[in-house]
C-alpha cells in the first residue's frame, strides 16, 4: 500500500534484545499464548500501540471484543473529531499516514469523479465535523492491510471477538490475562512482559487491581475552574449508539415503531441546568451557553441559513464525489445530541445493567430514526421523511446500529501525574499565568501533542453540556504511568486526566498518539531493561526516549508561532 512516508511501511532498526516468538501450549484446557506485549482492546489506541511495537520487532497479542478493529472510528461509527491543523501537524506521522491510506483506498477502489480524485485532501463525505469523513468499513480495511504482514509472519496474533475476563498479578506486576472467545467460549491465557489496557472503559484496571478514579472530582481536590464542589464517581458522560442512514425520495423505508418510542418521544431531560425542551426535537442546549439553539434537518443536504443541517454534520458519503448513479443519495452517521443516552452509567455496571443501558441506547437511537421518518418537521410544513433508510450494511450489524456504543469516558488510572484544567484550559491558564498567552503548560516529559476544545456531553448525574476553550497541548509521560503497577500501561481514555480534561484528551488523534507512544515506551523499556517509570525518572533515559520517538514520527511539541 502506498503511503506518504516510510513510517507505516518500514520497521525501525531499533529492535529490542528481548524479542521472543509467540508460543502456544495448553494449560488446564486453556490455550496459553506468549508475546512481548498483550494489548486488550482493538480501538485506535490499541491499534497504534500494536503497530508501534510491531514495526520495532516486538511480538504482539491484540484482543478485540467485536469483529472489527478501529474502535470509535469503526465499530462505534464515529467519523474522526480532529483539529484544524491535522493535515500538517499536531499528530503523529503514523496517524497522518493512516489518514492518507484511507484516502488512497477510496482512490484505488471507488468510482470517484475526476474532481474528487484530484482533490488535495479528499473528504469522501464532506461532513462538516472533519476534514476526513469516511465509512467505518474503510477504516477496518486499511487497518487490516497494515496488520496483514505481521499476522502472516506470526508477529501479531489478532484475537477478534475475544474479551479479557480475569487477570493474575504478583504485587506490582501483571503476570497474565485470561480471555474468552465470545463465540466458542474457548479460553486463553495471555502472558507477556508488558500489558496494555486499550479497552473503551479501562476494563483491565479493576481486573488487575490497578488504582483508578471514575466520574467527577471535587474542586477541593483538583482546584479546577469548572470542577463541581462535590465529587461524584458515578457522574460520567453520555454514550451514544450510532447508526447510518441514507435517503431515497419517493420510497417508504419506515421501520417498525420502537417499543420505547412513546417514552422517548415525550422525554424531557432533567438537568441541573435546563435542557431546551424535548430530547427528540430540532433544538438543543447550546453547549457553550446552554441557551436553546435551533438545528436544521434536510436529508438532501441543503444549506439552511445559519442553522446546522444535521444531515451534513457527520456525512460519510457525498454522492457528488462519485460518478453519477453510484449512490442514490448521501450517507450520514447519526451521532447527535438527540441520541446521547445518559440514563445509565456503563462503567462498573453489572452485566444485567450493562445490557439494559445498551438496549436503552439502542431504543433511543431507533426512536430518533422513527421520529425523523414520521414526525420531524419539514421545510414545506409537512412532517417526516419516510424515504430515510437505515443502512444496516454500513455498520455491519443485523439491527443497523453500531456494534459497540460510542464511549466518551472511562475509568482513569491514578497516575504519576494528572493533567488538570490548569494545564490546558484557556481561562484557567489565564488564572495560573496572569496573562492570556494562548499557551498550554509545557511538560518536560512530553511524548505527544493534541488539541480539541474541552467538550463534555450531558452526564448520568444530570449535568448539561460543559464546553469551553482549551489550548494546543502536550501528552506528558507521567499521565501514562500508573502510580503503582509497573508493567500495565493505558492506551485509550484511561490515562491520568480528570473528568474535565478528559474532554479534550478523548478524541481520535489523541487516543492514537497515546497508544503509539505507549507501544514505543514498551519497546524502549524492553531494550534498556528498565521499567517505564525509570524512563521518566532518569534524565538521560527520558532524553534518549524522546529522541527515539521523534525519529519515529512522534511530535512532542507544537511549532512556535
Is a pLDDT exceeding 50 seen at residue 17? no
Contact 342, 360 (CB under 8 A): no
Mean pLDDT of 338-367: 97
CB atoms within 10 A of CB 168: 14
Rounded to 5 degrees, φ, ψ at 397 are: -130, 160
Apex 215 CA angle, 46 and 337, nearest 5: 80
Which helix (H) or strand (E) segment holds residue 208: the answer is helix 204-208
How far, in whole angstroms, is CA 546 from its chain's centroid? 25
Question: Among positive and negative, which fits the CA dihedral 418, 424, 428, 431?
Answer: positive
Return d(Cα 329, Cα 327) in angstroms, integer.
5
Which candidate, 170, 29, 6, 191, places its Cα nearest to that of 100? 6
pLDDT at 20 over 60: no
Tell me 472's DSSP state.
-
CA-nearest of 118, 76, 124 to 99 is 124
The model's pLDDT over 299-345, given as tens digits with 9 standing for 90+, comes to: 998 888 889 999 999 999 999 999 999 999 999 999 999 999 999 99
Look at residue 14 and tell me whether its pLDDT is greater than 80: no
Q: What is the pLDDT of residue 186?
A: 97
- Cα distance between residue 378 and residue 369, in whole Å: 15
CA-wise closest residue to 518 among 503, 499, 535, 543: 535
- pLDDT the model gives residue 436: 80
Of 244, 252, 261, 248, nearest to 366 by C-alpha is 261
- pLDDT at residue 1, rounded to an integer: 32
Residue 557 burial class via C-beta count within 10 angstroms: exposed 0-12, middle 13-18, buried 19 and up: middle
Residue in 265, 197, 242, 286 with CA at minimum distance from that of residue 408: 242
pLDDT at res. 309: 95
pLDDT at 528 over 80: yes
Backbone angles phi, psi at 10, to 5 degrees: -125, 130
How high is the pLDDT of residue 304? Answer: 85
Percentage with pLDDT > 90 across the chain = 92
Name the residue ranges covered by the structural domains of the chain. Answer: 24-68+151-215+411-455+462-551, 239-395
pLDDT in tens, 402-425: 999 999 999 999 999 999 999 999
| Cβ atoms 126, 318 nearer than 8 A | yes
CATH number for the domain whose boundaries are 24-68+151-215+411-455+462-551: 3.50.50.60
Separation CA 489–CA 34 (nearest Å): 18
Average pLDDT of the chain, as a whole number? 94
Q: Give the neighbor-by-neighbor strand order of the sheet with 173-181.
A: 24-27, 30-34, 187-191, 173-181, 162-170
Pairing of strands 292-294, 283-285: antiparallel
Amino acid at each position: 500500500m502506498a503511503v506518504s512516508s516510510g513510517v507505516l511501511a518500514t520497521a525501525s532498526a531499533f529492535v529490542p534484545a528481548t524479542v521472543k516468538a509467540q508460543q502456544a501450549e495448553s494449560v488446564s484446557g486453556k490455550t496459553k499464548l506468549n508475546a512481548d506485549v498483550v494489548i486488550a482492546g482493538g480501538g485506535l489506541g490499541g491499534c497504534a500501540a500494536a503497530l508501534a511495537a510491531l514495526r520495532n520487532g516486538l511480538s504482539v497479542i491484540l484482543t478485540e471484543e467485536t469483529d472489527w478493529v478501529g474502535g470509535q472510528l469503526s465499530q462505534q461509527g464515529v467519523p474522526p473529531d480532529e483539529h484544524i491543523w491535522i493535515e500538517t501537524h499536531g499528530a503523529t506521522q503514523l496517524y497522518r499516514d493512516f489518514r492518507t491510506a484511507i484516502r488512497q483506498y477510496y482512490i484505488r477502489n471507488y468510482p470517484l469523479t475526476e474532481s474528487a480524485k484530484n482533490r488535495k485532501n479528499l473528504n469522501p463525505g464532506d461532513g462538516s465535523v472533519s476534514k476526513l469523513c469516511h465509512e467505518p468499513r474503510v477504516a477496518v480495511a486499511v487497518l487490516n492491510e497494515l496488520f496483514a504482514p505481521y499476522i502472516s509472519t506470526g508477529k501479531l496474533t489478532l484475537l477478534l471477538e475475544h474479551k479479557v475476563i480475569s487477570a493474575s498479578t504478583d504485587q506490582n506486576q501483571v503476570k497474565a490475562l485470561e480471555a474468552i472467545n465470545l463465540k466458542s467460549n474457548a479460553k486463553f491465557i495471555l502472558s507477556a512482559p508488558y500489558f496494555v489496557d486499550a479497552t473503551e472503559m479501562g476494563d483491565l484496571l479493576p481486573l488487575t487491581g490497578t488504582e483508578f478514579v471514575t466520574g467527577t472530582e471535587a474542586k477541593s481536590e483538583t482546584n479546577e475552574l469548572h470542577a463541581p464542589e462535590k465529587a461524584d464517581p458515578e457522574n460520567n458522560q453520555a454514550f451514544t449508539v450510532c447508526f447510518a442512514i441514507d435517503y431515497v425520495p419517493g420510497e417508504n423505508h419506515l421501520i417498525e415503531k420502537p417499543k420505547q418510542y412513546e417514552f422517548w418521544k415525550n422525554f424531557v431531560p432533567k438537568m441541573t441546568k435546563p435542557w431546551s425542551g424535548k430530547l427528540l426535537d430540532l433544538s438543543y442546549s447550546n453547549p457553550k451557553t446552554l441557551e436553546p439553539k435551533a438545528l436544521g434537518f434536510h436529508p438532501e443536504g441543503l444549506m439552511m441559513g445559519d442553522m446546522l443541517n444535521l444531515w451534513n454534520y457527520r456525512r460519510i458519503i457525498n454522492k457528488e464525489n462519485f460518478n453519477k448513479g453510484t449512490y442514490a443519495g448521501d450517507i450520514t452517521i447519526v451521532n447527535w445530541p438527540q441520541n446521547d443516552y445518559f440514563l445509565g452509567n456503563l462503567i462498573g455496571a453489572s452485566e444485567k445493567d450493562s445490557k439494559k443501558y445498551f438496549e436503552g441506547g439502542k431504543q433511543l437511537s431507533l426512536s430518533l430514526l422513527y421520529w425523523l421518518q414520521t414526525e420531524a418537521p419539514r421545510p414545506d410544513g409537512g412532517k417526516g421523511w419516510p424515504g430515510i433508510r437505515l443502512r444496516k450494511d454500513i455498520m455491519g450489524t443485523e439491527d443497523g446500529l453500531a456494534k459497540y456504543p460510542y464511549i466518551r469516558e472511562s475509568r482513569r488510572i491514578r497516575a504519576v501525574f494528572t493533567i488538570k484544567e490548569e494545564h490546558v484550559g484557556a481561562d484557567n491558564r489565564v488564572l495560573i499565568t496572569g496573562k492570556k498567552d494562548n499557551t498550554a503548560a509545557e511538560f518536560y516529559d512530553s511524548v505527544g501533542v493534541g488539541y480539541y476544545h474541552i467538550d463534555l456531553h450531558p452526564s448520568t448525574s444530570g449535568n448539561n453540556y460543559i464546553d469551553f476553550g482549551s489550548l494546543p497541548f502536550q501528552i506528558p509521560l507521567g499521565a501514562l504511568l500508573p502510580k503503582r503497577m509497573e508493567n500495565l500501561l493505558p492506551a485509550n481514555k484511561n490515562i491520568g486526566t480528570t473528568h474535565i480534561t478528559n474532554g479534550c484528551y478523548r478524541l481520535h488523534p489523541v487516543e492514537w498518539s497515546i497508544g503509539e507512544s505507549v507501544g514505543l515506551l514498551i519497546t524502549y523499556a524492553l531494550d534498556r531493561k528498565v521499567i517505564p517509570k525509570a524512563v521518566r525518572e532518569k534524565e538521560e533515559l527520558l532524553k534518549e526516549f524522546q529522541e527515539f520517538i521523534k525519529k519515529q514520527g512522534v511530535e512532542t511539541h507544537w511549532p512556535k508561532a
